[in-house]
A = this chain, B = another copy of it.
Amino acid sequence: MSQASTSNQRIVLASRPKGAPTADNFRIEQVTLPDLVDGQILLKTLFLSLDPYMRGRMSDAPSYAAPVEIGEVMTGGAVSRVERSMHPKFHEGDLVVGATGWQSHGISDGRNVTPIPSGLPSPSMALGVLGMPGMTAYMGLMDIGQPKEGETLVVAAASGAVGSVVGQVAKIKGLRVVGVAGGSAKCKYVVDELGFDACIDHKSEHFAEELAQACDKGIDIYYENVGGKVFDAVVPLLNAKARIPLCGLIASYNEHEAPSGPDRLPQLQRTLLTKRVRIQGFIVFDDYGDRQPEFISAMAPWVRDGKVKFREDVVDGLENAPQAFIGLLEGRNFGKLVVRVARD
């Protein structure tokens, strides 16, 4: 049976960035999709998630995941609607989440495509607080951070998709929570809206001193998602037996060679030893994929009851994804960054 041909707009990797990505590293293309065959579904992208880890996929340096090849569609999670189905488990109109990438349409065999939970205020939440960033926040905090009432936690990018959830869950668990964010508007939001005990502006001239003042009992958990100067300011404040879950290093994603000295590694090693610190990297779905039900059953009620709030930064139009992503790496977003690819 013949099918109406589908035109697909997509953004491919045109070249690998050296340092910060530029618009030249991306290319927008228009292609015609092949007909569906048995077992496949045609997906129309509604929301595309933009996340810092994507910078790693643009490089061919060894990493935990294969890079995007030159000319290939940029990878990424998205919320889509099933437009046509030749797969027994999916029906036209279903809303799903999957790794369909930076494009207006996708064809899938149903693997790694999941129905989104019903009753969400916006389906895009499946890309945020109830999706990969929320689960990254929750699992790193609970499993590696092991929060205890009365302890002090610091998290950077505190208004972002991961940091905002880390801090709010830590507040629920009874910790003192100090955020770090860029600029007074974000800091005000973190304290007034999200309920953190304090938030320090990393653009402040006296950032390290202000962080030390806000953490007058030291730091028991540093949830690491940025690296760079926040890490440097945190290390001297760590308490004995501190834990550092490590899920991201956005501050250094654009570096392509070792920075000049001094060499800070020996000092870190000494701190890990003398303060008996645990630092542990993790990749959420690889390490905790089997614990997704636990995460959803904890987080969904918190979100429903307003105990965990969540802010989105929505950019309209797939063609604007590259600029939005470049801004994300510079901290220009305010909240979880998503691209609205289609309105219906």
Q: Which A residues have a C-beta under 8 Å from some C-beta of B?
A: 56, 62-64, 227, 231, 240-241, 246-249, 252, 255, 257-270, 272-283, 286-287
Contacts and interface: CB of A to CB of B under 8 A. Distances in A.
A270 B252 contact: yes
B273 A247 contact: yes
Task: Rank and list the top 7 A-B pairs by shortest CB-CB distance, nearest first.
Answer: A261-B261, A258-B262, A273-B281, A278-B280, A272-B281, A264-B265, A260-B261
Nearest to A64: B274
A248 B266 contact: no
B281 A280 contact: no
A276 B280 contact: yes
A242 B272 CA distance: 17
Contacts of A62: 274
7 contacts: A64-B274, A258-B261, A260-B261, A264-B265, A276-B280, A276-B282, A279-B279
Given A266-B227, A266-B252, A269-B227, A259 B261 contact: yes
Given A227-B266, A249-B266, A249-B269, 11 more contacts: A64-B274, A246-B273, A252-B269, A258-B264, A260-B261, A260-B263, A268-B268, A274-B281, A276-B282, A277-B280, A278-B279
Contacts of A273: 246-249, 281
Copies in the complex: 2
A268 to B, nearest CB: 6
A279 B280 contact: yes
Contacts of A231: 269
A229 to B, nearest CB: 12
Contacts of A262: 257-261, 263
A255 B267 CA distance: 10
A197 B64 CA distance: 29
A203 B102 CA distance: 51
Given A280-B277, A287-B276, A64 B263 contact: no
- Which of A62, A64, A281 has the most CB atoms of chain B within a 10 A radius of its CB? A281
A251 to B, nearest CB: 9
A258 B266 contact: yes
- Which of A231, A276, A286 has the most CB atoms of chain B within a 10 A radius of its CB? A276
A283 B287 contact: no
A64 B270 CA distance: 10
Contacts of A64: 240, 274-276
- Which of A264, A265, A267, A278 has the most CB atoms of chain B within a 10 A radius of its CB? A265
A78 B53 CA distance: 53
A268 B287 CA distance: 20
A248 B272 CA distance: 10
A54 B265 CA distance: 22
Contacts of A283: 276
Contact of A258 (B252, B267, B287): B267
